[in-house]
Structure formats: structure tokens, C-alpha cells
Copies of this chain bind each other. A is one copy, B any other.
Amino acid sequence: MRDLFKLIVAWIVVTASCSLHAGAALEHPRLLLTSDGVEFIRANLGSAPLFDESLRNVKAEVDKELALGIDVPIPRDFSGGYTHERHKRNFFVAQKAALLYQILGESRYGDYVRDMLLEYAALYPTLPVHPKERSYARGRLFWQCLNDANWLLYMAQAYDAVYDYLKEEDRELLERDLFRPFADFISLGNPKFFNRIHNHSAWGNAAVGMIGVAMGDEELIDRALYGFEASIDSQARDNDGGLIWTQGQGRGFLANLDAPFSPDGYYTEGPYYQRYAMYPFLAFSIAMENAYPDRKVLQQKNTVLVKATYALLNLADSQGEFFPMNDAQKGMSITNSSLVAAVDAAYLYGHRDSALLSVALEQGQVSLDQSGMAVALAIEEGRAEPFTKRSIILRDGPRGEQGGVAVLRDPEAGLEAVFKFSGHGLSHGHFDRLGIAIHDNGREVLQDYGLVRFVNIEQKGGGNYLPENKSWAKQTVASNTLVVDGQSQFDGDYDASSRHHSELVFSDIGNDAIQIVSAQEVNAYEATVVQRTVALVRSPQNNVVVVDLVRAESDGAHTYDLPFHYLGQVIHTNFSPISDDQRRALGTDDGYEHLWLEAVGKPTDSSAKFTWLDGGRFNTITTAAEEGDELLLVRLGANDPDFNLRRDPSLIIRRETDRRAILASTIQSHGGYDPVSEAAVDVSGDIDDIKVVSSAKGYSVAQISWTSGIVSWLFVANGDGSKGVRHQLELEGRLYKWEGPYLWIPGF
């Protein structure tokens, strides 16, 4: 019986999915849900527990709102305020209620959506632009067009799903008084918002396109896909300081799909905004696939949206939280509803990858559409396989030509090192080229600060970006990368930074003994070439250690600061820091004005060592020291009148030199402390010492002495990443020869 049942289910999945791809242009619903899809879902209710559970939860949520009744208030607030949150809640709930109407066929859900839409149709024509004046593109329901676009994209789905339930005169009224003027306002009425290459525009384009598909209005669909002619001041900027328009850039949905996504599916604004943009990209692409399959929107750029879903999953740490690159609020994870939709869609519209099923299980819910049902059925059939994240390099740039991001992983140890050598990342980018971040089983060992914003907490500046996002988070010293002469990269000039990108020099991530990536930045500082090489190696004690070589070549004397943004309590240093009793800010600009100087140490040994305890783990940075180096212990919080910054600590290695500088360090998380047994295990780690033993002729050679007595060497041939090139270097009377850009001699 059971097997027979499974066969039937499998058959249904196959046939259903075939028909799903066939398109159903003239029927409603036709966006994410199709009439065939509804049949498929209804036929399988009760057979796919994860779908049934998701349905139950959504039903409970919507029923609660139905009981509360509809409220469509006059717009007034920033995010976090009542009117903002109510309108936001309205479109979420209306879309869900409409799905319930389709799946369960209960008229009360149809009535609810109809009544709400009619209230909006009565209100909308009376509305001026939103009273809050902060945005470069103010909406009418919300303080910015972006949120109006969110509304329209969800309401298009709601409308589509109850379309056949509505009387024709209601449909006419809604389209005339609400949807068409709404779509025109956020597009024709706001070219700066609609015609950009930016996640804002992706939302705007998709929203207009979705309502176009729902209404069968091909003019709106074309406007969505290609934008429209309009002149934009070449100096116009958005609220984050990003340029609105650059000569020669594309516009519309297809251009937004093309430019910010790389061929690997990396979105140049980073995973936090990619997560936000995934939903409109996918929703409109799938709507087009369902209703106008011949226009092949989903297939654009080699079906980049499916790749983008994998890229996003790979840019999450071992606990599923996204690496907070660029402007990113920490804690955002693969369980976000946008990722639920993306994973389900990537399963059904991609190649039915069983590994995505285990991600869906981790998410604990599926979308209430055909892709969600396909996923839930496959899970019920036991087809889920682990989604294993391995080391990966994702290229940035429309053609993959603008550097990229590497994630070195040791899944067994749970260690992940993120290394960023991409383009600027549009207006949400930071001046953090060649920055790294390290995660140990989801805990931040070296953190990326993320953004300075409390999204949707109205009490903190209306929930918007706070001034310290620019003065701290975007600055170079806020990231784990080299700062030259106390200045941010490109002197903090967004336009200059946007014209350039770092370059991958070489990588080798398919190796058991060592995984290594090296990248170069030549534009960020005048006449200065910085190359950083990051490797995961196994110690003789079989622990994973990050080796980090930062090499700067310049033509004059400079001060090099290499910050390491740790978290937790200092356990040990070998450089006896002297406290600064009258605490001063470390500088006056470029982020330094936010750092209190807590103490300064001088190296007393060939390596400076710094051990801290955080979350039950010990962590040690060991860095090759030179005479004159300073080790600064600093803490965030100076010049922060509104207490917008976390009081996080950092260690800064400072070197003044008129020669090249090589800052060679190891970073290891080791041992642990259990407050219940009070047992401290491996407090010191595996590294005794690290030295730079050669920096001649473009080579960097670091020698690592392990506590076990064994010595290892890492040779890097800087500048030239070619695999076939032969190198040789004499070192302490011995000649080393090798082929390719690096040589690792573990010595054991």
C-alpha cells in the first residue's frame, strides 16, 4: 500500500511539474500559483506533512487577522510606526489569504482580500506623497517607493488569486483607481527609483511587472522588463550616497538581473540585500515563466536565479546565518521567508536537487504554492540529502570580471574564513577590500561589523541607516583589512571605489593539506600594492589554523594598521599592554574617531600573541612582530552620542615603515572552557611562533613553529598567479624550487 501510494505521488509530481512548465497564460491564477498548480496542491493535501504544517500555520495567522478586521490607515509613520507596520502587514496577510482562498476554496478569504483591496482603492486616489520627507523617492503608502513596491508585488499576487472571485465591476474599479495609478506612480512618477540598477529598482520593476501579468497588461510588462526613457541628473544620489544613474547603464528588470548578478549568482550588494532582492527577482521571473514562457525571463543569464539561490546558501555560516558583508544586519538567515520561496523555486524550476530538500527541512516550512508542494512531497518520499557547504569562490561583476568573494571552509572543524576581493557593491558596499572574517561553528572569531541600523525599530532613527553607518561601518578600519596612513580605501570616495575592484591572484581550494586564496588591490591607495593571502592549514595536532599574509608595497614611508575585530575577554598577551588612563579617541576621522584607545603594547618577542575567550572557546592571534610595532587595544564607542554602536573591542597591529610591510599572522580557535565542569582545555593553541623569513624579489615566506616542535613554511610568489611558472628561492643556504604561485611545506 505504502509503496503504491508513493508511486502515485511520484507520478503526480512528474505530471504536475510538466504541466506547470507549460504555462497557462489566459487563466487565473497565473503568477506564482497557477490553476494546474492549485489542482496539484489540492490533490496532495494530507500527503505532504511539511506543506500541511505550513498551511496550518498560515491559516492560523490569517484567521487571527480576519478576526481583527481590516484597517487601512492614513499613512503617517516611518518603519516601526503603526501606519507603516499596518500597511506592511496588510499586504503580507492579503497575499496569504488569497493563497488560502485558492487552496481551501473558502469564500471568506476571498471576501477579505476583496474588501481590503476596495478600501485601498478608495484611499489611494486621495493620497498625496507620504508626509515623511527623508527618501529620495517618497512613496504614497510608505515613506519610500521601495515599500510601495513591496505592497504592489504582494497585492498583485492577492489580486491574481481572487481575480475570478471578483465581480467584473470590482476588477475594473481596482485596476482603474488603484493598480494602474499605483504602478504608474512608482515607475513613471519616480524614474530615479524605477530606472536604477539597484535592489530598489528590482522591487519596483518586479512589482509593476507582476501587476501587469495579473491584469494582462503587456505595456506594464514591457515597462517592467526594459524600464522607460527618462533623463536623470548625473549627480543625483540616493539617501545612502549612491549614484542614481551612470552613463550607459541599463534599466528595467532584465538589466537589473544582468548587472548586479555575476555568472556565479553572487549579487554585488552582498547576501543581506541579495536575500531581500531574491523574492521580487524570483516572483516576477516565475510569473513570466508561468504566463509568458516564450519570453524566457527565468532563463535569462543561464538561469542565474537558481545559481543565485545556491550562492546565497553558500554565503551563510554553518548555522545558516548570512555572513554580514557590506550593509547587513546580523542574524538574518536562510530561514527568512524570502529564502523559503527561493529554495522551493530553485528545486522545482531548477534541477530538483535533493540537497535543497534538507535546506527546506532546516527552514521548517514551504511556500504555499506548487514549488512548496513539490518540495514537501519529495521530502515525504525520503529524498532529502545533506546540503554540504564546501569552500567556494564566487566571482563578482556582470561577467564575473570584478574580483569576488571566497569562503574557505573546514566543515569537520566548523571553521569558515570569508575573504572579500570584490567590487564596491553599489551603495551598500563598504571600503573593505581584502577584508576577512572568521567564523567558528557559527561564532564570530573575527567579525564583520555589519551595518549601523536597527531595521524597523522606530526609536532608533526611524529604523533607518544611522550616521555611524557611514562614519564607522563603511570605513576601512571597521573591517579586518589593512589601513594605510589612517585613511579609508579610496579616501572614502564612493565613485572612485565603484570604478575599481580587487583581483583574484590565485586560489587552490581542492587540497586537503592547505586551502589557499590570494588577491590583490592596487587602486585603493595611491602607489600602493596590497596582496593578501589567506589559507586554512592543518596543524601537526590536526587542528585547523588560518594563516594570513598581508603584503604592502609602496614607494614611501607609511603607517600600516591591521585591525582584528575580535569579541570576548582578553585571556593572555605576551606584549604587556599599558593602559591609557585618560582614554582618547584614536583619531579624528575615517572611523578612528569612534575608537577609544584602551592600551598600547610593544612586542617583547619575535611574535606578538593575543588570546581571548568567547562563547566557551579560546582564540589566539599570533603575529610576526618587528621592533617599533605597536599593538593597540581599542574599543568602539567614542563620538557616538546616541549610543548607536556596539562597544566591541579590536586589536590593531600598527607598523610604521618606509619599506614593504608583510604582516604575517595565524588565527586559531582552540580548546574551550566549560563553566559547569570549570575545565579549561587547550588554552594556548598550537602555534609557538610565526616569522617572515623572506620578503625578497616579490616572494613572501612565513615560517610557522608549532608547539609540537615541528616547523612549517608557506612560500607565496606575489603578483603572479600562474600555475605553470617555476620558482626558486634561496633561504638560509638552501634552494627551494617549486611550480605555481605557492608552496606549503608542512614539515610533518
When the two chains form their complex, are residues A641 and B679 in contact, meaning their CB atoms are under 8 A apart? no
When the two chains form their complex, are residues A329 and B455 in contact, meaning their CB atoms are under 8 A apart? no
Known: A329-B675, A579-B641, A647-B647. A680 touches B633 (CB 8 A): no
Chain B CB within 8 A of A683 CB: yes
* Complex interface: chain B residues within 8 A of A333 (CB): 675-676
Known: A336-B676, A673-B457. A582 touches B582 (CB 8 A): yes
* Complex interface: chain B residues within 8 A of A680 (CB): 80, 454, 456-458, 463
A583 to B584, CA, bound (A): 7
Closest to A455 in B: B678
* Complex interface: chain B residues within 8 A of A730 (CB): none
A537 to B679, CA, bound (A): 41
Chain B CB within 8 A of A606 CB: no
Chain B CB count within 10 A is highest, among A332, A455, A569, A680, for A680
* Complex interface: chain B residues within 8 A of A579 (CB): 639-641
Interface residues of A in 173-205 (CB under 8 A from B): none
Known: A332-B675, A456-B678, A675-B331. A647 touches B649 (CB 8 A): yes
Chain B CB within 8 A of A270 CB: no
Chain B CB within 8 A of A677 CB: yes
A460 to B569, CA, bound (A): 11
Chain B CB within 8 A of A611 CB: yes
* Complex interface: chain B residues within 8 A of A582 (CB): 582-584
Q: Give min CB distance, A583 to chain B, whole Å.
A: 5
Chain B CB within 8 A of A330 CB: yes
When the two chains form their complex, are residues B571 and A454 in contact, meaning their CB atoms are under 8 A apart? yes
A331 to B673, CA, bound (A): 11
Chain B CB within 8 A of A637 CB: yes
Interface residues of A in 569-587 (CB under 8 A from B): 569-572, 577-579, 581-585
A599 to B579, CA, bound (A): 21
* Complex interface: chain B residues within 8 A of A639 (CB): 579, 581
Interface residues of A in 310-356 (CB under 8 A from B): 329-333, 335-337
When the two chains form their complex, are residues A677 and B457 in contact, meaning their CB atoms are under 8 A apart? no
* Complex interface: chain B residues within 8 A of A675 (CB): 329-333
A678 to B457, CA, bound (A): 9
A67-84 interface code vs B (CB 8 A; 1 in, 0 out): 000000000000010000
When the two chains form their complex, are residues A570 and B643 in contact, meaning their CB atoms are under 8 A apart? yes
When the two chains form their complex, are residues A457 and B596 in contact, meaning their CB atoms are under 8 A apart? no
A578 to B330, CA, bound (A): 28
* Complex interface: chain B residues within 8 A of A678 (CB): 329, 332, 455-456
Interface on A for B, CB 8 Å cutoff?
A: 80, 329-333, 335-337, 454-460, 463, 569-572, 577-579, 581-585, 596, 598-599, 611, 613, 633, 635, 637-643, 646-647, 649, 673, 675-680, 683-684
Given contacts A336-B677, A454-B680, A583-B638, 8 further A-B contacts (CB under 8 A): A330-B675, A454-B571, A458-B683, A459-B572, A579-B639, A579-B640, A598-B643, A635-B637
Q: List 21 A-B contacts (CB under 8 A).
A: A331-B675, A332-B678, A336-B676, A336-B677, A337-B677, A454-B613, A454-B680, A456-B678, A456-B679, A457-B680, A457-B683, A459-B571, A459-B572, A460-B571, A569-B646, A570-B642, A579-B641, A582-B582, A583-B638, A633-B643, A647-B649
